[in-house]
């Protein structure tokens, strides 16, 4: 066969295929199942000094998504999950957001840093104003600054993380009931919105907790290499309990300095289960209290063992908060009937209207400001805990679950959520 005949033959085949495609009955085309795709972007700190914290947020979110994809995905299609590295800066987060827009993502999820959460929630709000009908939804699973559900609240933004008032409220409630809070409390926190909110919570809870705040310290964020002067100040105030919202190196080094100084006080925090803290504190950590959104000690072993199989470690710290939040989010989205892609307004309605009885208690979202309402688990560092931490013989033994209603704070007047 000549090359010309070959060309005519190939052309005839293509023409026939095109004609056959055009002759498919319209009704048959409409009857074909709709292809659904849920596209989730995570803009997180995956490089730089806080990368370990970002990695745990990523793992917690991906753990839930991977399980759902193994079970058949969302509406019959695998969930698309892509991680964008913000490098821990607001500028980096803004740049990665533009990439997520180009990739047509539906949800933008973020964990580490309230400053980055503030950047991204504003980016999403501005994008949505310019692109009606193509809105994106922003969800933070790790930022607790009050402004996110205050002046920065908007219809397409959700906070799936407790505020400092909720964290501290759970600690004070449980420790007072356990008879260990004492009458003298010291507060040490980082000098930015998160730390300021923790300090205010420690002040506001003094009456309910029955204690006197005997000292307060605000310090630079992740710049202090030696906490011994701060520990000396705490020691001189002779508190029974130290309340702190410190995280990352600021808590690791505070624990180390407390151990070195022989500081005999009880710490109360939401970040003690961050890897490295118990190793730094040693036996001095026994009796310290930590509050979390969940615990591998509660319920069966499936969460703990499944997580270890996936990532080589038992869930703790940001692993837990991210996975607990993502579990609720995906259950809410899966409750929406229909085929094809889920619309932005359906995502908002699903998250606002869903409630779930988790292993820790009822969970829901407050529609007025999109604050996730969840029970919090307060644990004590104890050798009786099943799951040990940092290669020590200590772990986090749950002593109380504080219901969401006890932790609820009023909707802030600054939240002006506009609806269509």
Q: Are 363 and 373 in contact (CB under 8 A)?
A: yes
What local confidence, expressed as pLDDT, does residue 337 receive?
Answer: 87
State the average pLDDT over residues 395-406. Answer: 96
pLDDT digits (tens, 9 = 90+) for 92-128: 999 999 999 999 999 999 998 889 999 999 999 999 9
Q: For residues 117 and 136, what is the distance between their CA atoms, to the nearest angstrom?
A: 15
What local confidence, expressed as pLDDT, does residue 17 receive?
Answer: 38
| 262 alpha-carbon distance from chain centroid | 34
Question: Does a structural domain hold residue 416?
Answer: no
- Going by pLDDT thresholds of 50, 70 and 90, the confidence category of residue 338 is confident
One domain, residues 113 and 50: yes
One domain, residues 154 and 169: no
pLDDT at 67 over 60: yes
CATH assignment of the domain containing 388? 3.40.50.2300
- Going by pLDDT thresholds of 50, 70 and 90, the confidence category of residue 248 is confident
What local confidence, expressed as pLDDT, does residue 343 receive?
Answer: 93
Q: For residues 213 and 379, what is the distance between their CA atoms, to the nearest angstrom?
A: 23
One domain, residues 218 and 288: yes
What is the number of domains present in the chain? 2
One domain, residues 155 and 196: no
One domain, residues 305 and 393: no
Question: Does a structural domain hold residue 18?
Answer: no
pLDDT digits (tens, 9 = 90+) for 301-332: 999 999 999 999 999 999 999 999 999 999 99
Domain region containing 208 = 164-292+375-407
- Going by pLDDT thresholds of 50, 70 and 90, the confidence category of residue 28 is very low
One domain, residues 277 and 391: yes
Tokens of 148: 């996110």
Average of per-residue pLDDT values in the chain: 91
Tokens of 268: 């109360």
What local confidence, expressed as pLDDT, does residue 36 receive?
Answer: 59
Question: Does a structural domain hold residue 44?
Answer: yes
One domain, residues 304 and 356: yes
For 387, list phi and psi in degrees, rounded to 5. -100, 115
One domain, residues 158 and 169: no
- Going by pLDDT thresholds of 50, 70 and 90, the confidence category of residue 21 is very low
Q: Which of 88, 153, 94 is nearest to 125 (CA)?
A: 153
Tokens of 168: 């501290």
One domain, residues 256 and 277: yes
Q: For residues 110 and 406, what is the distance between their CA atoms, to the nearest angstrom?
A: 27
What local confidence, expressed as pLDDT, does residue 96 receive?
Answer: 98
Other beta carbons within 10 Å of 34:
12
pLDDT at 356 over 80: yes
Question: Does a structural domain hold residue 348?
Answer: yes
Q: Are 111 and 83 in contact (CB under 8 A)?
A: no
State the average pLDDT over residues 1-6. Answer: 46
pLDDT at 88 over 80: yes
| Percentage of the chain exceeding pLDDT 90 | 83
| Percentage of the chain exceeding pLDDT 70 | 91
pLDDT at 267 over 70: yes
pLDDT digits (tens, 9 = 90+) for 180-239: 999 999 999 999 888 999 999 999 999 999 999 999 999 999 899 999 999 999 999 999
pLDDT at 75 over 50: yes
Name the helix (H) or strand (E) containing 199. Answer: helix 193-204
pLDDT at 35 over 60: no
What local confidence, expressed as pLDDT, does residue 339 receive?
Answer: 84
Question: Does a structural domain hold residue 103?
Answer: yes
Question: Does a structural domain hold residue 267?
Answer: yes
Other beta carbons within 10 Å of 361:
16
One domain, residues 42 and 63: yes
One domain, residues 228 and 185: yes
Give whole-number Cα distances, 413 to 58, 152, 204, 398, 417, in Å: 33, 12, 18, 35, 10
pLDDT digits (tens, 9 = 90+) for 368-385: 999 999 999 999 999 999
Question: Does a structural domain hold residue 313?
Answer: yes
Q: Which residues does 388 contact at the CB level (< 8 Å), separation at least 6? A: 394, 395
State the average pLDDT over residues 75-100. Answer: 97
| 226 alpha-carbon distance from chain centroid | 29
One domain, residues 106 and 244: no
State the average pLDDT over residues 242-246. Answer: 97
Question: Does a structural domain hold residue 14?
Answer: no
């Amino acid at each position: 066969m000549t090359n010309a005949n070959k060309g005519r033959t190939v052309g005839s085949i293509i023409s026939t295929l095109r004609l056959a495609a055009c002759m498919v009955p319209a009704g048959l085309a409409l009857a074909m199942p709709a292809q659904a795709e849920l596209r989730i972007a995570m803009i997180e700190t995956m490089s730089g000094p806080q990368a370990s914290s970002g990695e745990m947020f990523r793992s917690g979110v991906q753990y839930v998504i991977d399980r759902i994809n193994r079970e058949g995905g969302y509406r019959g299609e695998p969930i698309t999950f892509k991680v964008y590295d913000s490098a821990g800066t607001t500028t980096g987060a803004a740049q990665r957001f533009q990439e997520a827009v180009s990739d047509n993502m539906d949800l933008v999820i973020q964990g580490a840093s309230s400053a980055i959460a503030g950047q991204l929630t504003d980016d999403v709000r501005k994008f949505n104003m310019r692109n009606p009908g193509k809105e994106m939804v922003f969800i933070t699973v790790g930022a607790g600054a009050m402004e996110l559900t205050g002046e920065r609240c908007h219809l397409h933004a959700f906070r799936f993380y407790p505020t400092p008032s909720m964290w501290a409220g759970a600690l004070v409630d449980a420790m007072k009931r356990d008879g260990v809070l004492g009458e003298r409390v010291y507060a040490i926190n980082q000098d930015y919105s998160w730390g300021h909110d923790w300090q205010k919570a420690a002040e506001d809870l003094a009456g309910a907790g029955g204690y006197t705040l005997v000292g307060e310290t605000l310090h630079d964020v992740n710049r202090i290499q030696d906490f011994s002067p701060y520990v000396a100040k705490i020691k001189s105030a002779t508190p029974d309990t130290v309340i702190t919202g410190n995280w990352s190196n600021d808590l690791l080094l505070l624990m180390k300095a407390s151990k070195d100084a022989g500081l005999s006080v009880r710490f109360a925090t939401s970040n003690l289960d961050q890897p490295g803290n118990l190793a730094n504190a040693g036996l001095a950590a026994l009796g310290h209290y930590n509050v979390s959104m969940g615990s591998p000690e509660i319920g069966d072993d499936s969460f703990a063992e499944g997580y270890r199989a996936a990532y080589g470690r038992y869930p703790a710290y940001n692993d837990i908060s991210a996975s607990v939040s993502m579990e609720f989010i995906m259950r809410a989205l899966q409750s929406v009937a229909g085929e094809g892609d889920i619309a932005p307004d359906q995502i908002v309605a699903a998250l606002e209207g869903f409630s779930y009885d988790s292993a820790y208690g009822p969970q829901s979202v407050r529609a007025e400001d999109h604050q996730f309402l969840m029970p919090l688990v307060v644990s004590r560092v104890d050798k009786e805990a099943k799951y040990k931490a940092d290669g020590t013989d200590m772990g986090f033994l749950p002593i109380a679950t504080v219901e969401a209603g006890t932790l609820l704070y009023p909707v802030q007047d600054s939240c002006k959520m506009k609806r269509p």
